[in-house]
Structure 1
């Protein structure tokens, strides 16, 4: 049976959290017989023990180690069998009925996004966006990332740079006319002291990546149509300003705690 949706999970030293991520897929409102879970290890470790947690788990094995989340997602996409794909990091979760809400929207419109809920020790500190449609302006106003359910033909490839998931999401929004539906069910981003966003140098590395994305957009090296080039360049400039504000504030909080404290809307 061909699955209705493939869930892409890059994994890097994720044994403590990935079972929780897979459990949230089981509660996402789509029968597991219709879901393919594709795990792409980037640490050379064995994740086959997860096969008992879902009916259709594919381990996209590779000799590559520490290649980055982008290349790992690309390997998982190559193993995806469904017409639609969703994305979930191994240390994050989905709210109940996430796929039940997003998949019909994606099937109707080509793509859909969940809301993003940022959790600190299990408590929500920020939830975005506040409306039922996502546009470039939402990325510019917020430091949060957003995660699509999208037709497989428009998923990837991911770039091997920091914040490549933001670049990918902007491409998806651009390909679908800068107005993509958003569900109430949320992607739950769990603050993790060991994650890359908790690194004190994260904002500096992200800003350097943003500058590279701006050049790629202007040189036509992305999937963003020319009509949206300046709009998406403005998104990365806005994000760079936000990162500078975080650095100027001293970095005493994690990046997402700082974003939540600013309460962008």
Structure 2
């Protein structure tokens, strides 16, 4: 195929139930793209579900020889990507039509290196909770320290920048650490406050265990180089934003 504009990276582990909806939403975007599905050792029928896309231009199914985790799987996809931009999408989420077009336009107009969108919270059965999480038009490093307003499945980022800051520390919120590193160097991210991302509240997600998620968030600040006191301050702000986001869902 001709060089794609966007490389979509989709890690999956036992995603047979939801991945078709995710993949179909990628192919409804109407932009030049490739899709790299990184299977992190699925034992269900994920591969069989994806067999329907074999032979489709730009589609690649890549199975890890050993479990690498979400961070390692995304990094593997980024290394193999041919596009100028990377878009991340988890296998249990999906996009509205027009998402990538709007983000590419926004990145070109602003010159920023990363763009995220708002998201709608979806129950595990695919029904809407009626809750949406907004995103600011301009996201600063200081604001991002207080709460992570950048959801990984909403992100489009320049490929060279994604390679410059691979995701690390799978025992933490590895994507949050990466966004902090990106904004620390490049200053800002741009946001589109429309719920282009449909974010499924899966029972098995990292963030569903609140105590574990709290520890992981605290570790983000420690990995970012902050001492215990500052890390606690940032965590308190993060926790307050988390209560605001989810208490009414």
- Confirm or deny a common fold (TM above 0.5): yes
**Structure 2 match to 1:211:** 218
**Structure 2 match to 1:122:** 127
By how many angstroms is 1:75 displaced? 1.2
C-alpha separation between the residues in 2 aligned to 1:68 and 1:49? 23
C-alpha separation between the residues in 2 aligned to 1:232 and 1:102? 32
By how many angstroms is 1:232 displaced? 8.8
C-alpha separation between the residues in 1 aligned to 2:219 and 2:247? 28
Q: Is the 8 A contact 2:132 2:195 kept in 1?
A: no
Corresponding residue SS for 2:63: coil
Q: Is the 8 A contact 1:96 1:185 kept in 2?
A: no
Structure 1: 5+ residue stretches without partners: 221-229, 247-257
Indicate whether 1:19 and 2:5 are aligned. Answer: no
Q: Is the 8 A contact 1:142 1:259 kept in 2?
A: no
Q: Is the 8 A contact 1:154 1:172 kept in 2?
A: yes
Corresponding residue SS for 1:60: strand
Structure 2: 5+ residue stretches without partners: none
**Structure 1 match to 2:238:** 239
**Structure 1 match to 2:167:** 158
**Structure 1 match to 2:102:** 101
Q: Is the 8 A contact 1:134 1:182 kept in 2?
A: no
Change (3 A) 1:185 1:203: closer
Give the number of aligned pairs: 234
1:139-158 to structure 2, matched below 5 A, reads 140=146, 145=151, 147-155=154-162, 156-158=165-167
C-alpha separation between the residues in 1 aligned to 2:151 and 2:135? 14
Q: Deviations over 1:17-62 (max 9, x none)?
A: 11110111122232xxx21101111125563515348421122332
Q: Is the 8 A contact 2:34 2:83 kept in 1?
A: yes
TM-score by length of 2: 0.79
TM-score by length of 1: 0.75
Corresponding residue SS for 1:28: coil
By how many angstroms is 1:211 displaced? 2.6
Q: Is the 8 A contact 1:101 1:183 kept in 2?
A: no
By how many angstroms is 1:196 displaced? 3.3
By how many angstroms is 1:192 displaced? 1.9
1:84-95 to structure 2, matched below 5 A, reads 84-95=85-96
C-alpha separation between the residues in 2 aligned to 1:242 and 1:187? 19
Q: Deviations over 1:131-183 (max 9, x none)?
A: 42333536735787353211111114112223212222333333331352425
**Structure 2 match to 1:137:** 143
Corresponding residue SS for 1:218: coil
Corresponding residue SS for 1:13: coil
